[in-house]
Structure 1
Amino acid sequence: MTDETTTANTDSSGAACAPRAAGSPGAAPDWEKRFRAPRVSLPEWAEDAPDRSLFVSNATGTFELYAWDRATGEQRQVTDRPNGTTDGTLTPDGEWIWWFSDTDGDEFGVWMRQPFGGGADEPAAPGLEPSYPAGLALGRDGTAVIGRSTDEDGTTIHVVRPGQPPVEIYRHRESAGVGALSHDGSLIAVEHTEHGDAMHSAIRVVRPDGSTVAELDDTKGGTEELGLSVMGFAPVDGDSRLLVGHQRRGRWEPMIWDPLSGEESALAIDLPGDVGADWYPDGAALLVEHEFRARAELWRYEPLTRTLTRVETPTGTVSGATARPDGAVEFLWSSAAQPPEVRSTSGAVVLDPPGAKAPGSVPVTDAWVEGPGGTVHALVQRPEGDGPFPTVFEVHGGPTWHDSDAFASGPAAWVDHGFAVVRVNYRGSTGYGREWTDALKHRVGLIELEDIAAVREWAVSSGLADPQRLVLSGGSWGGYLTLLGLGTQPEAWALGLAAVPVADYVTAYHDEMEALKAMDRTLLGGTPEEVPERFEASSPLTYVDAVRAPVYISAGVNDPRCPIRQVENYVDRLKARNHPHEVYRYDAGHGSLVVEERIKQVRLELDFTRRYLGLGGDGELKE
């Protein structure tokens, strides 16, 4: 660590400035236990070998892939890399595990494969050069459909057959990806944005030779563009029905489209909020995932009888679900107060990782606040005691994402230290209808901060938040909004914590991966050269000289989404002002999959905040 008057920088180790953990000497505090507690993802299973499963776990301290033979109970670790591995899948016969190999989190690499029972890794698609992944679909005859994205070529899609060189069947400069492969391998669904709007995809169904079968495009012929998404072909040979998500009624909901006949079948799923779906294994019913007001639940829908039946799950958030061949539904569930569990409607425990369980946290309450663009929903967690509390506004990434009533170790750590935590589902968030999600175009960042400001005013006036101790914090898009908010609302915030942020929008655009360039062109209406005034208005660097609050920034040096050069440009401007700030750089990409690294980052944020707000370990103001 070096000292530059009011400036402190850390190197990639961070060891020189690591503070003491909260809690009694020699005992790990609850907030650290939550991160270290073994966790598992919802297991994926091979379609034709349902006893063979693949899941992700942090059991070794790094998130890696694990194979699970349900028939024997045997589990084994598949991948073992310094920065972790989470992107993998099974072939339909369960014989092979495919996993994506990048370099230190840079997301640029190739697909590898390994036998399910163990063995050496080998290139899964020899002949394809490294790229960013753009979808993958594996067929029953060994065929693979592989989407690739590079700065030079845009998006390409290749069909790879055993023992044959890859064959390119699709190429376009705009973003696209492999959506699905039909059960018999005769049809490929491609999501694309050839029309230039990266927020609203169209669908093209092609044959394995690349010839077009049918198009479904809701971006044409209307006064506004609507998006489509591929949810999957029916899991039955000879069945060409494709489950498609659409926005024709102002929200995401499914329909069934047959690209061979052109028939579209609307579904009688009358639920508020966004609705997604997947097929039951026999193709006779749909497993419906329903998101509404930051909670998620499950339903079963039968298209022939138009029957909708509730699948019982606890109140909270279902983060993923799958229907098994025996009709049982397995799902990953949690709430803000209760750690995640993989449950089954059969009553059986699906996966119960060994080791200490994560301590719980406090539940969320809902706040509904009138903002300039409509009612804003926020989730609030309160520590023990009476307010007003020092308060962290934890801003989610995306921007097309949303905070939910789900377990999160980061917010729980702040609550443990006496902070209230407020999470705002600003305009741009999903789950509140298409109009809410699409509202941030052109005034990017400024729209979201208007909603955060409305909730901030409510939090102060209600007595929840201490107006002198308000912290703006977030990662990725949340980190971007943190830096932008510190510059455009300098009187409002006492401190800012920005993880893997966009800091200099123009440089970020030129350095980021191609798919994100397409999204930025959609959000801002062009490139920095075409609409310089919009990039300037939305860039944190524009307002850096107005920042008053101390700033903490953490960034991965291999990040392809929020690249390091644009972060350094922002830091250099803070240095030039001798403005109080600290920077932590670590050897990974857009975040870390290593548990102890994540704990270190939270510890550094807690220490920075306590020092600059003059707080003790429990959040109390020091005398």
Structure 2
Amino acid sequence: MTDETTDNGPGTAPADPRNSSLPHSPAATADGSGMPEWEQRFRAPRVSLPNWAQDAPDRSLFVSNATGTFELYAWDRASGSQRQATDRPNGTTDGTLSPDGEWIWWFSDTDGDEFGVWMRQPFGGGADEPATPGLAPSYPAGLALGRDGSAVVGRSTDEEGSTIHVVRPGEEPVEIYRHQESAGVGDYSHDGSLIAIEHTEHGDAMHSAIRVVRPDGSTVAELDDTKGGTEELGLSVMGFAPVDGDTRLLVGHQRRGRWEPMIWDPLTGVETALDIDLPGDVGADWYPDGSALLIEHEYQARSELWHYGLGAAAATEGATPALTRVSTPVGTVSGATARPDGAVEFLWSSAAQPPEVRSTSGAVVLDPPGMKAPASVAVTDTWVEGPGGRIHALVQRPAGDGPFPTVFDIHGGPTWHDSDAFASAPAAWVDHGFAVVRVNYRGSTGYGRAWTDALKHRVGLIELEDIAAVREWAVSSGLADPERLVLSGGSWGGYLTLLGLGTQPDAWALGLAAVPVADYVTAYHDEMEALKAMDRTLLGGTPEEVPERFEASSPLTYVDAVRAPVYISAGVNDPRCPIRQVENYVERLEQRAHPHDVYRYDAGHGSLVVEERIKQVRLELDFALRYLKEGEGES
């Protein structure tokens, strides 16, 4: 499980379970007086949507930053007790419960490098132990736990590619799948007789196929939308029916130009289309008895929930057959689950309102102790005509009249999208008098398959065309001061920041790049294998096969054209945007004596430590305020 409050991966170091309830850290118990509101938003305790054990629904697992570091917590709903399950210097967010609720499984890497092994500990507390003895450390590639104590474990390494193993108590792990291209565990059927695997054996890491196998690895059926058409279409595993003996598999597909679910029975081959007439991308999960689906609909940067009955459920007036709206406020639902009593729990927020775990029953699900995060400014929507179609951007304005110094906060991914959701970093900029613009450029999800798939071959340059179009709107509308424009982002957003500073040198006053791709060729050779596969898909080959594309898309190619001051932060253990390629870019800046700051920290692709995150935002703010004096921007 992951927490929507952070984009970072799991942390590291040996666990030291605690048997206390959710702690009140010094920062959490303070009322925030004397502390800037932007820091309060980071320090205020948050919780993720609780993940509950399928056969023991009173046992839950969630993530919280209550101690100042994001860690896993066990929650016994029957007694109300909460216990911190992990305690590591760089945090832990990747964990799940066994179906019987007896065990907490969590992933242990080294200082944020995402390379490690699965550990487990008793739900009620106790020593950690290796959960998959016999399996060497790897990058995780999916995990599914069975009711008989078995587990299906996905692994990825540079040497082996993707492997999947069945692990049974007291037995050696059995490898049931191996391929050099990316693959991972999709799900394990309720009775343990079937395993769903997502794979990209065809070589397109953006569009998976599905293979269903038995626990011995023998193939039952294959579902592949990448063959036989003029365009490759992707599939995703959403889960087997949660009923013993029921072999139905919920599958996401793109056959109508967007993500939507269908039901496939791999034993009979029958595919059942679902009558869900909604305009955006549609995800789904099962209700616990398998009689209905919980639909998550994402459209134009906001999301909503629906109930879809699979039986002879009566349609409500004004709804399509079997489809009924589940009431949620306007904003973003970043996770939802249907409980055995029929209530739906969901994690909700908006740009203005901090996240809350809510229930359709009206009950408070989880209310962390300590101060509450201050509200921020609501977003407004703008649509801008761009070279590839209409571009959607979200805008937050500070008090007063423009034009404002403006931060273009570019999301990562690239297959992701900014939404009307609470985010502490953009709110900090608004507090300091900046407007914030977030652009859902081509490559973003939520706007149809064609928009997401538009990146190929001219990687980075296409996204920057869209960002440039929104920039023109921001200036011409009077929102943004053209002399005080900041290009900023993390991960893929950090990559686009450095690439934009070099290819659009007159457009930006300064750049702030966190955990970026800076030298695409070196990044490719040093990054984790799954990302190499994605880069081969995006660029059409390796740096040796298509050197001209890597050169055209690499920030290092344009570093000598950069005019704006550059701030870069990077994790020294980052497997996604490795440190060596960042150092190559910094060395070129140093050779030019170009104004820049570099901050290196001991973690991976970001940090799960609250004070570290605050430090990074403070450094970015200080850098921007240092160079963006009134009328003195360097553009």
Report if TM-score (shorter chain) is over 0.5: yes
Tell me which residue corresponds to 2:150: 143
State the secondary structure of the residue aligned to 2:455.
coil
Q: Secondary structure at the match of 1:351?
A: coil
> How far apart, CA to CA, are the structure 1 residues paired with 2:486 and 2:35?
25
Matched, 1:194 2:209: no
Deviations for 1:143-185, whole angstroms, at most 9, x for unmatched residues?
Answer: 1000000000000000000110100000000000000000000
- Judge conservation of contact 2:207–2:234 (CA < 8 Å) in 1: yes
CA distance in 2, matches of 1:88, 1:190: 20
Q: Indicate whether 1:448 and 2:455 are aligned.
A: no
Other-structure match for 1:132: 139
Contact 2:162 2:180 in 1 (8 A): yes
Structure 1 length as normaliser, TM-score?
0.95
Query: What residue is the counterpart of 2:234 in the other structure?
Result: 227
1:490 to 496, 505, 509: 505
Q: Unpaired runs of 5+ in structure 1?
A: 1-24
Query: In the TM superposition, what whole-angstrom CA distance separates every residue of 1:528-568 from its partner, at most 9, and x where no partner exists?
Result: 00000000000000000000000000000000000000000
- 2:544 corresponds to: 529
- Tell me the amino acid that sits aligned with residue 74 of structure 2: A
**Are residues 26 and 315 of structure 1, via their aligned partners in 2, closer, same or farther at CA, if it must alter by over 3 Å?**
closer
- 501, 519, 522: which one pairs with 2:534? 519
Counterpart pick for 2:433 among 398, 418, 430: 418
State the distance in 2 between where 1:587 and 1:28 align.
26
Matching of residue 48 in structure 1 with residue 63 in structure 2 = no
For 1:411 and 1:348, locate their aligned partners in 2 and report how far apart those are by CA, in whole Å: 31
Provide the C-alpha distance between the structure 1 equivalents of 2:619 and 2:626, rounded to a whole number of angstroms.
11
Please report how far the alpha carbon of residue 26 of structure 1 lies from its aligned counterpart in structure 2 after TM superposition. 8.4
**1:12 is matched with which residue?**
none
Task: Tell me what 1:9 maps to.
Answer: none
Whether the 8 Å CA contact 1:83–1:588 is kept in 2: the answer is yes
Who is 1:339 aligned against? 354
In structure 1, the residue matched to 2:603 is 588
CA contact (8 A) 2:501 2:508 kept: yes
User: Aligned runs of 1:228-307 on 2, under 5 Å?
Assistant: 228-305=235-312, 306-307=321-322
Q: Is the 8 A contact 1:369 1:377 kept in 2?
A: yes
Superposed counterparts of 1:31-42, under 5 Å:
31-42=38-49
Which residue does 2:594 correspond to in 1?
Answer: 579
Contact 2:483 2:632 in 1 (8 A): no
SS at match of 1:515: helix
Q: Distance in 1 between matches of 2:142 and 2:62?
A: 19
Letter in 1 for 2:374: P
Distance 1:54 1:327 in 2: 20
Which of 375, 378, 395 is the equivalent residue of 2:390? 375
Report the residue type matching 2:594 in the other structure: H
User: Is 1:311 aligned with 2:326?
Assistant: yes
Match of 2:20 in 1: none
Structure 1 ranges of 4+ moved more than 4 A: none
What SS does the aligned partner of 2:365 have?
strand
Partner amino acid, structure 1, of 2:420: D
Conserved 8 A contact 1:204-1:215 = yes
Please give the per-residue CA displacement for 1:511-530, whole angstroms capped at 9, x wherever unaligned.
00000000000000000000
Secondary structure, in 3 states, of the residue corresponding to 1:250? coil
Q: 1:391 & 1:161 partners in 2: Cα distance?
A: 55
SS at match of 2:508: coil
Q: In the alignment, is the contact (CA less than 8 A) between 1:40 and 1:57 conserved in 2? A: yes
Q: Does 1:86 align with 2:101?
A: no
Alpha-carbon offset, residue 384 of structure 1: 0.1
RMSD in angstroms over aligned alpha carbons?
1.1
> 2:515, 2:443 → 1: CA distance?
19
Q: Is 1:166 aligned to residue 149 of structure 2?
A: no
Q: Which amino acid aligns with 1:589?
A: G
- Distance (Å, rounded) in 2 between the aligned partners of 1:318 and 1:152: 39
The letter for the 1-side match of 2:620 is: E
1:350 paired residue among 365, 368, 378: 365
SS at match of 1:554: strand
- For 2:28, the equivalent position in structure 1 comes to none
Contact 2:410 2:439 in 1 (8 A): yes
Q: What stretches of structure 2 of length at least 5 have no aligned partner?
A: 1-31, 313-320
CA distance in 2, matches of 1:392, 1:438: 26
Deviation of residue 28 (structure 1)?
1.1
Q: Distance in 1 between matches of 2:608 and 2:632?
A: 32
Q: What is the DSSP-based 3-state SS (H/G/I as helix, E as strand, rest coil) of the residue aligned with 1:436?
A: helix
1:438 is paired with a residue whose SS is helix
Residue 408 (structure 2) pairs with residue 401 (structure 1) = no
Question: 1:8 maps to what in 2?
Answer: none
Matched, 1:112 2:112: no
The residue that corresponds to 1:17 in the other structure is none
**Whole-angstrom distance in 2 between the partners of 1:151 and 1:490:** 37
Q: Tell me, what secondary structure is at the counterpart of 1:574?
A: helix
CA distance in 1, matches of 2:331, 2:175: 44
Deviations 1:65-122 (A, max 9, x none): 0000000000000000000000000000000000000000000000000000000000
Report the equivalent of 1:433: 448
Q: For 1:159 and 1:86, locate their aligned partners in 2 and report how far apart those are by CA, in whole Å.
A: 24
Question: Sequence identity, in percent?
Answer: 89
Q: Which amino acid aligns with 1:31?
A: W
Q: Distance in 1 between matches of 2:519 and 2:310?
A: 49
SS at match of 1:313: coil
State the Cα distance separating 1:303 from its structure 2 match: 2.3
Q: Are 2:472 and 1:457 equivalent residues in the alignment?
A: yes
Residues 414 and 421 in structure 1, CA contact (< 8 A), matched pair in contact too:
yes
Shift of 1:614: 1.5
Q: 1:216 aligns with which of 214, 218, 223?
A: 223
Residue 57 of structure 1 is aligned with which of 51, 64, 69? 64
Match among 306, 314, 323 for residue 338 of structure 2: 323
C-alpha displacement of 1:620: 12
| Contact kept? 1:418, 1:620, Cα under 8 Å | no
Q: Which residue of 2 aligns with 1:184?
A: 191
Partner Cα separation in structure 2 for residue 273 and residue 70 of structure 1 = 35
Partners of 1:126 and 1:405 lie apart in 2 by 43
* Structure 1 pair 580–258 and aligned structure 2 pair: CA distance change class (3 A): same
CA deviation string 1:367-395 (max 9, x = no partner)? 00000000000000000000000000000
Task: For 2:265 and 2:90, locate their aligned partners in 1 and report how far apart those are by CA, in whole Å.
Answer: 42
The answer on whether the counterparts of 2:381 and 2:395 sit within 8 Å (CA) in structure 1 is yes
CA distance in 2, matches of 1:452, 1:549: 17
State the Cα deviation string for residues 381-410 of structure 1 (Å, max 9, x = none). Answer: 000000000000000000000000000000
Q: Between Structure 1 and Structure 2, how many residues are aligned?
A: 594
SS of the counterpart of 2:438? strand
- How far did 1:264 drift? 0.1
Letter in 1 for 2:583: E
1:207 maps onto 2:209 in alignment: no
| Residue 104 (structure 2) aligns with | 97
CA distance in 1, matches of 2:34, 2:108: 37
Q: Distance in 1 between matches of 2:249 and 2:52?
A: 21
